[in-house]
Amino acid sequence: MLPPNEKEIHTVYKIVFFDIDGTLVNEEKQVPASTIIAIQQLKRQGIEPVIATGRAPYFIKPLAEQLGIDSYVCLNGGYAVYRGEPLYRRIIAKSSIEALVKLAAKHKHSLVFEGEHNYFTDTDNDHPFVVGSISSLKVDLPAYDPDFWKTNDIYQIFLHIEDTDEHLYEELQSEFKLIRWHQHAIDVLPAGGSKAQGIAALLELVGLKPEDAVAFGDGLNDMEMLSYVGFGIAMGNSHKDLLPYADHVTTHVDEDGIRNGLITAGLL
């Protein structure tokens, strides 16, 4: 008898998608040694490791190089690259951004616009919510350019608000999907957007099916991804609301969570 939510392993998986924060890296943004070794073992077996993250591509390069990974799904499914070659882009409509900009200005909330190669804020980057949320990722703060979105493709936006203000944006729910990732920050995606979209595009390109894939995640933006693949694994440190979407719950990121999950999936 399998535990609740546990799925029996029936296949040999061919590709594995890994979230970053809380999955590949811990709270100090360090990769556990067991994770590095496990990914090396995957690669030796011919199994493709792919990063699947809410982060933009310019935030993941050091980690990708450290792990020897050149395929990734970034910006919560908005931008996908396979072995160094971009293959999928999902941008936000200018009309939708304009509506969000007007509403955020009305409520004096800060936005950060994420493009393919860089990102900018519409307020000073010493705004406490901007500093607090983005510094938690241990990346450089955005420069100031409130009009960046007008002349560049935007894949994702950070909306800096507390949870008590989320109701102020209900009028835009038909155009956007909002996912909280920090106490002062929300990812803003096109309605229906998710990591699963970018993963689906990548799998189609390489001729694989969802059931050929495994995915690891820990956050609210991993729900669709874990549901979409053949075997979805939640980290032991996951947000409690993610657990119902997982086929298996592994140990904490700092307790060999990746290695143990891969063992359960029959890949190590």
Q: What distances in angstroms separate CA 5 from CA 97, 164, 235, 243, one per listed residue?
A: 38, 32, 14, 9
> Cα-atom radius of gyration of the chain, to the nearest Å?
18
Dihedral sign, CA of 104, 106, 110, 113?
positive
* Full 3-state SS string of 108-142: CCEEEEECCCCEEECCCCCCHHHHHHHHCCCCCCC
Count Cβ atoms below 10 Å from residue 72 Cβ, excluding itself.
Answer: 26
* Catalytic residue flag (residue 19): yes
Q: Which residues pair with 174 in a beta bridge?
A: none
Given 19, 21, 122, 218, the catalytic residue? 19
From residue 14, alpha-carbon distances to 27, 87, 174 in Å are 29, 19, 36
Per DSSP, the residues of 19-64 read -TBTTTB-TTS---HHHHHHHHHHHHTTPEEEEE-SS-GGGTHHHH
* Angstrom distance (rounded) from CA 199 to CA 49: 12
Joined together, the tokens standing for residue 189 give: 């995606």
**Position 50: which residue type?**
V
Catalytic residue numbers read 19
